[in-house]
Amino acid sequence: MSGEATRDELGHVQRVFDRLAAGYDRQIGWSERFLMGNARRWAVEQARGVVVEIGVGSGLNLPLYGAGVTRVIGVDLSEPMLALARSRVAAVPVELRHGDVQQLDLPESSAETVVSTYTFCTIPDPAAAARAAWRVLRPGGIFVAVEHGPARSRAVAAVMRWVEPLTVRMAADYLTREPVAYFTDAGFAIDYADRTGRGGVVFRVLGRKPG
C-alpha cells in the first residue's frame, strides 16, 4: 500500500472512530454478547510483563489486566476513544498514547507482550502493524490477538465479502481479514490459533518472536 493511500485511510479510520466513540462500548458489547463471545478475556490472560496494546480504543481490556503484568502502554489514533480509556480503572499502571500503531513510537525490544483485540480489522496496513509489533517485542515476547474474520460457512463468508465495502466506508471495518498470515509474514512463530464465536468468526492467535 502506498504511503499516500495509507495516510488517506488512516484519516478515514480516525474520523470514523472519533464519530463512533460515544456509542462504541454499547455496540461492541452487543456484538460480543450475541456473536463474538468474551474472547478478549483470553487475550488478556496471555499477557505478561510490559504490555503494548495496539488500538487500545475505549480501554475495555484495561480493567482485566492483573497478575504478571507490570505496565500497559495503550496506543490509539482516536482522541475520543482514548478519553474513554482514560476513565477506566485498572489494577496495573497504564500509559495511554496518541499514535499510529503501524509505526510504533516505542524503543526496539522494549515489551514482553503486544495485545490486539478487534484492531486488525481497522488498521489500514495490518502487515506494517505486525512488523511494528515485532520490532518492539523482546526475543521470546508474545503477540496475542483476538480478531474477527470470515465465517466458516462459505455462503456466510460470501455475504460478508459482499457487504464489506459498506462496513469499510461506514465503520472502517474489514469483515473478512484473517490475522494469522500477518503474524507469520512478520516472522512470528504461531504457538496457538483457533476460532470461536458464532460461525467461527473470532480468530484467537498467539504468536511468539523466536529467540
Ligand X SMILES: C[S@@+](CC[C@H](N)C(=O)[O-])C[C@H]1O[C@@H](n2cnc3c(N)ncnc32)[C@H](O)[C@@H]1O
Binding site for ligand X (CB under 6 A): 10, 13, 17, 28, 40, 55-57, 60, 75-78, 81, 100-102, 117-119, 122-123
Q: For residue 41, which amino acid is it?
A: R
Smaller CB separation from ligand X, 30 or 189? 30
* Residue number, 163 or 189, with CB nearest to ligand X: 163
Distance CA 78, CA 122 (A): 12
Cβ closer to ligand X: 39 or 151?
A: 39
E runs forming strands in 62-209? 69-76, 94-98, 111-117, 137-148, 189-196, 202-208
CB of 199 to ligand X, least distance (A): 19
Under DSSP, the state recorded for 32 is I
Minimal distance, residue 99 CB to ligand X, in Å: 6
Contact (Cβ atoms closer than 8 angstroms) between residue 65 and residue 41: no
- Four-residue CA torsion sign, 74, 169, 180, 2: negative
Least distance CB 193 / ligand X (angstroms)? 18
- What is the smallest separation between the CB atom of 43 and ligand X, expressed in angstroms? 9
Q: How far is the CB of 91 from ligand X (least distance, A)?
A: 18
Pick between residue 4 and residue 158 the one whose CB is nearest to ligand X. 4
Q: Which residue is nearest to ligand X (CB)?
A: 57
With respect to ligand X, which residue has the nearer C-beta, 39 or 157? 39
> SS3 of 143, please?
strand
In DSSP terms, 71 is beta-bridged to 50
> DSSP alpha helices (H): ranges in 58-179?
79-86, 126-136, 154-171
